[in-house]
Chains A and B, each alone.
Chain A
Amino acid sequence: DAGITQSPRHKVTETGTPVTLRCHQTENHRYMYWYRQDPGHGLRLIHYSYGVKDTDKGEVSDGYSVSRSKTEDFLLTLESATSSQTSVYFCAISERPVLNTEAFFGQGTRLTVV
């Protein structure tokens, strides 16, 4: 299994509080991604990173920010959590862009905003 760890695995938080999810990899892969998974929707890209300090928005980036100060860590922050951000969040990594390589996924973080 690829070395990719998400933390925490489960979190319950109150509306309006900040939340940070962490993705840690030991594979030295250049690309890292944050997705959310909701019923009735496929996985949707929030933000991604193509190198240290290089990040870009995905299709559902509103309300989220990211940081990547080291190759191995990609942080997803909800500045002020809302109930619509209740979801399962997946981190993924890839050595190259996914048009020509496979991706490896973390185990997911279940976030509930009450």
Chain B
Amino acid sequence: KNEVEQSPQNLTAQEGEFITINCSYSVGISALHWLQQHPGGGIVSLFMLSSGKKKHGRLIATINIQEKHSSLHITASHPRDSAVYICAVVPGNQFYFGTGTSLTVIP
């Protein structure tokens, strides 16, 4: 049983489309992180959230603590956004990771 569920598992979009990736979790958390894993394997941190909403460039992350749900939105998607997006929750002081959403943006 995974405490963190992401949907969809795979997503293909046309360049310019608005994209939403969802993360649901079943435990109480202190924080939630969104990570991006590039095709070459490297992982970078995109956002850390404990409430509300954060925006960085074309990326927006929201969290609803009561509903145990977070979304990552990408506006005006571009082929360089193609990557695996990983949701990670922090119930105590360690990460629990989702299995990731693989995004492909077609030109």
Tell me if A98 and B86 are in contact (CB < 8 A).
no
Residues of A within 8 A of B2 (CB): 42
CA distance A44 to B2 in the complex (A): 11
A44 to chain B minimum Cβ distance, whole angstroms, is 7
Tell me if A98 and B31 are in contact (CB < 8 A).
yes
User: Per-residue 0/1 for B19-45: is the Cβ within 8 Å of any A Cβ (1 yes, 0 no)?
Assistant: 000000000001101010000111111
Number of interface residues of B (CB under 8 A): 25
User: Per-residue 0/1 for A29-66: is the Cβ within 8 Å of any B Cβ (1 yes, 0 no)?
Assistant: 00000000000111111001000000000100000000
CA distance A30 to B83 in the complex (A): 29
Q: Which residues of A contact B (CB under 8 A)?
A: 40-45, 48, 58, 88, 90, 92, 97-105, 107-108
Beta-carbon nearest neighbor of A107 in chain B: B42
Q: Is B97 an interface residue (CB 8 A)?
A: yes
Q: Which residues of B contact A (CB under 8 A)?
A: 2, 4, 30-31, 33, 35, 40-45, 48, 86, 88, 90, 92-100
Tell me if B97 and A99 are in contact (CB < 8 A).
no
Tell me if B48 and A44 are in contact (CB < 8 A).
no
Tell me if B33 and A102 are in contact (CB < 8 A).
yes
Beta-carbon nearest neighbor of A56 in chain B: B94
B49 to chain A minimum Cβ distance, whole angstroms, is 11
B96 to chain A minimum Cβ distance, whole angstroms, is 7
A-B contact pairs, 17 of them (CB 8 A): A42-B2, A42-B97, A42-B99, A43-B88, A43-B95, A58-B94, A92-B43, A98-B33, A99-B30, A99-B92, A99-B93, A100-B31, A102-B33, A102-B48, A103-B45, A105-B44, A107-B41
Tell me if B93 and A98 are in contact (CB < 8 A).
yes
CA distance A48 to B93 in the complex (A): 11
Tell me if A100 and B30 are in contact (CB < 8 A).
yes
Residues of A within 8 A of B90 (CB): 98-99
* In the complex with contacts A42-B2, A42-B4, A42-B100, A103-B41 CB distance below 8 A: no
Residues of B within 8 A of A99 (CB): 30-31, 90, 92-93
